[in-house]
Amino acid sequence: MKIKYKITLLLLTILVFVNSIETKAADSVINTDPEKDKILVYILRNILTRSHFVVKDMNDNFSEHVYKEFINGLDPSKRYFTQKDLKDFSVYKYKIDNQLLNEDLSFYNLVYGRFIDKIKIAKSLYETILKKPFNFKDKETIDVDYEEVPFAKNEKELVNYWRKQLKLSTLIRIQDKIEKQKSKVEKDKNYKTKNFAELEKDARAEVLKNMDELYVRIEELEHDDWFSTFLNSVVSAFDPHTTYMAPSIKERFDQDMSGKLEGIGARLQKKGIYTEIFELVSGGPAWKEGSLEPGDVILEVAQGDKEPLDIVGMRLSDAIKFIKGKKGTEVRLTVKKKLDGSQKIISIIRDVVELEETFVKSSIVEKDGKKYGIIDLPKFYISFDEKDYRDSAKDMEKEIERLKKQNVTGLLIDLRNNGGGSLKTAIEISGLFIDKGPIVQVKYRGEKPIIKKDTDPKTQWKGAVVILVNEFSASASEIFAAAMQDYKRAVIIGGNQTYGKGTVQSIMPINRFTKYDKDLGYIKMTIQKFYRINGGSTQIEGVYSDIALPNRFSYMKFGERDLNGALVWDKVKQADYVQTNSYQNFSEVINNSKQRIANDSKFKLINEYAKWLKKKQDKTSYSLNYKIFSEENKLEEKGAEKFKSVFDYKSDLTFNSPDYEIPLIKKDSVLGDKRIAWHKNLSKDVYVYEALNVLSELKINPKNQFAKD
C-alpha cells in the first residue's frame, strides 16, 4: 500500500459549484434572460415555503446561509475573492431574504460580476507564476483545509495563495517522477535519468497544461450555470437533499439512474470539476476487480496502453464516453482514493453490465453441519410503469422459498451499500418475517404520522435472521433493518450505525407551476420524514448495530450526521406493536460475538487501520520544502506497510449457488463467472464470517409471538 500525496488538481481547484454545473461560456456579466431568473426565484420560493417538510422563515439567518453558500460555491479554495471583495458583498449579507421576496437579484449580480472579472485575471496569473522555477528549499507550508483557511487579505496575499497551490501541485509531480525514475533504473541500469531541475521544469509544464485545459472548460460555462449555483445556495437552506436541477442536469440525472450501464459497471456523478464513483454495479467489471469504491475520484483515463487523458473539469457526459467501451477492451483509470487520498492506477476489462446483478441473489453455505442462506439485496427496486414487472419484494419471497426447499436453517441478509429505493417493497419485505403489524411511520409537514403496516398474516420465514449493514446502508435499508430490530426479529451486525437518511424527496418539474414556456428545470425537495415503529426517527441516527464491527469508516466523518443543514433527529409516538420473542438466546449470542471481536487479531488490526485513516483525513498541512515533503512521504509509506494485509482473509467456508441456478449457469457462462467471483469474495469476507457465527448460534424460541395488528 504505497501512499502518495497525490492531491493533483484538487489543490488547484478553481471552480467547485453545486450540482455539477456544465455547459457553455459566460462572455459577459449581463444576464440575457432576467425574466426567467426572476420567475425561477419566485416559483422556488413559493414551492419551498409551502411544501417543504421544514417550515423555514426567510430571515437574517436564512440570508446569511445563502450569502456564505454562494460565495463558497464559487470560490471554495479561496483563490478569487479577497477580504476587500467580502466587505463589498457584506452589504447584502442580511438583505438577501428581503431581495428574494421581491425577486431582486442585486446580490447575485454583484458577486457573479466580480467572479467573472477574477476568472479573466486568473489565467495570466497562473501563467506568470509557472514561468519560473519554484524554490523547494524554503521551509514553508500550505494548509488545504479550505473551510478553515481565511480569504486573502489583499491581492498580494491572493497571489501568494496561488503560488503555494501551484508549488504544491508541482512538488507532487516531481515526487512522482523521481519515484518512477528509481523504479525504471532498478529494471534498467542504463536508463537515462533527469536531474531535479529538469524534472521540476517538466512538472511545471504539466501543471500549466492542466490549468490551460481546465480554463478552456471554465470558459464554456454560461450565465444559467452560475445562476444554478445561486439557486442551490438558496434551496440548500432548507436541507442538503433539496436541490435545483437545470434541464441538462435533470437529463443526465435520469440517464445515470436509469440502470442503462455500460463499460466498467459504475454509476458516476460530478463533484465540482471531478468525476466521482457514486455506486458500483454488483457483478460488473469494476465490482469484480475490487479496487474501486464509492467516493473515489477518477483523474485520468487511458485506453489500454495508450497515454492517459486528464478528465478533471471535463463534462460528465464526455468523461463517460472515454470510460465506456467495447466488451473485452482495457481501460486504465488513475484514481484518487476517497479514504486516504492516495493515487492508484486501476486496470479494468470492460464488459456488458447485466442489470440482473441489481436484483436479489442468494448463495448457500454449510457451517458445522448446517446449511445457511446468504441473500444479497443490493437495492429496494420496483417498476412503477409495469405493475407485473419484478420487484425486490416478489424476488425476495421467491428466493426465500427456494432456500427453504434446500433446508437452510438461517438467513443472512446483506444490506451493505444498499442505498434504499422503494418504501413499498421495504414494507413488504419486512412483512415476510412477521405475521402482520406496523413497519414504519411516515410524516408529512404539519401532519400526524401515518403508520404503514404489513397486513398479510403469512410469515414467509420463521427461522433465524441476521442482517449485515454498513455506513452506506441508507433510507429503505434503514426502514427494514429498524423494523427487524424493533421487533427483535433479527440481529443487526456491521458498521457502528447506518447512513441516517430518514427523509424522502420528490422531483417535480418547475413548469408545472407556471405557464412560462421556457424549460425551468426541476426541484428535488424533501417532503416526508421516516420514523421507526418505536417512535424514533432514522434521520441522523440511522440504525445502530446490535453488534458493531470495526471497519475502515469507524472513525471517519461520514453519513447524514456530517452534512451541513441536515434535518434533526426527533421522535413521534410509538406505534402499537409487540416484539416477536423469536430467540431463546438473543442477548447471549450478541455478547459472545462482541467478545470474539474484542479478542480477534484481525478486527484489532482493522480498528488500528481505521484510526490511521482518520489521522490521515485530519492532516491538512503539507510542507513545500522538498526534503521535508519527501521525508514525510516516506514516513507515510512506512506507516502504511503495517496495514498492507489488513483485509487479507480466507475462511474455510465454501459458498455455492442454490439448485435452481445451476442449470442457468450452465447455459450462461457470464452468470457463472459472476457467481464464482461473488462466492470467492464471500469466502474472503471477515464480516460475513462473523455474521455466520452469530447466525449459527441463534436458537429459535418455539413459543415466539409475532406482532399484533
What amino acid positions are annotated as catalytic residues?
475, 486, 501
Give the other-Cβ count within 10 Å of 438's Cβ. Answer: 24
**Exposed / middle / buried, residue 384 (Cβ in 10 Å: 0-12, 13-18, 19+):** exposed
Asked if residue 687 lies in contact with residue 494, where contact means CB atoms within 8 angstroms, the answer is yes
Nearest CA to 631 among 140, 1, 5?
A: 5
Who's near 272: CB < 8 A, 6+ residues apart? Answer: 13, 15, 16, 17, 20, 76
Residue 454 pairs with which residues in a beta bridge?
437
Nearest CA to 653 among 683, 608, 698, 630?
A: 683
Q: Which three cell numbers stand for residue 447?
A: 401532519
Nearest CA to 122 among 55, 179, 75, 187?
A: 75
Give the other-Cβ count within 10 Å of 373's Cβ. Answer: 25
Which stretch of DSSP H or E encloses residue 439?
strand 437-444
181 by DSSP, 3-state: which?
A: helix
Q: How far apart are CA 484 and CA 377, in angstroms?
A: 15
DSSP string, 506-557: EEEEGGGG----S---EEEEEEEEEE-TTSBB-TTT--B-SEE---TTTTS-
Which stretch of DSSP H or E encloses residue 440?
strand 437-444
Residue 377 exposure: Cα atoms within 13 Å on the Cβ side: 38
Question: What residue type is assigned to position 7 of the chain?
Answer: I
DSSP conformation class of 624: -
Q: How far apart are CA 426 and CA 482, in angstroms?
A: 11
Q: Which three cell numbers stand for residue 178?
A: 523521481
